[in-house]
Amino acid sequence: MRACDVPLTAVSTPSGMLWEWLVMPQGLSNAPATFNRLVTQLFRSHRAYAQTYFDDIFVQSRAEYGKSDVENHVEHLRAVLECMRTNKYYGNLDKRVFGAEEIPFLGCFIGKRGLRARSCRGQDHCGVAGSQEPKGFTQVASLSQLRAQVQRELRGHGSAIVESP
């Protein structure tokens, strides 16, 4: 929250006191867009090797300038972490993945080969949350219609998708 915007968040309590937010409160209509714009601007100088999506930061590196991909990756990670420390942004260690060939993101895997669907054989959460295997003609037809709709929506995006084994 910018210091000049803090007074704009003032809320009057029943006791007559004013309470001001020092950080962006949840529930404001533009909070996600504002946060995403801030993170994008913050990491703009690192965009050659670090992409952001709201609170996710993706750092990818390849061998360049006589350095191995691992050496470059360590250098890029240090630069991103230093940027976070300088601007007082904190990461969740439980969510972090360092030095991976592929990372899970929004139901897919992203890696050197591009985008790949997650394999979810034998898992209950595959497809739609809480869904079960279809039983009977009506459920199979409904699932088939859903599949056709998804195919229509994804038409033209298939060149970047690699099927899971």
Per-domain residue ranges for the chain?
A: 43-99, 102-162
Could you tell me the pLDDT band of residue 67, with boundaries at 50, 70 and 90?
Answer: confident
CB 155 within 8 A of CB 109: no
CB 24 within 8 A of CB 1: yes
CB 42 within 8 A of CB 87: yes
What does the pLDDT read at residue 125? Answer: 42
pLDDT at 124 exceeding the cut of 80: no
Bridge partners (DSSP) of residue 56 are: 53
* Helix (H) or strand (E) run with residue 59 in it: strand 56-59
pTM of the predicted protein model? 0.57
List own/partner pairs for 124-127 with CB under 8 A and 24 or more apart: none
pLDDT at 110 exceeding the cut of 80: yes
pLDDT at 83 exceeding the cut of 90: yes
Q: Based on C-alpha coordinates, what's the Rg of the chain?
A: 22
The candidate with the shortest Cα–Cα distance to 161, out of 108, 124, 121, is 108
C-alpha span between 141 and 22 (Å, rounded): 53
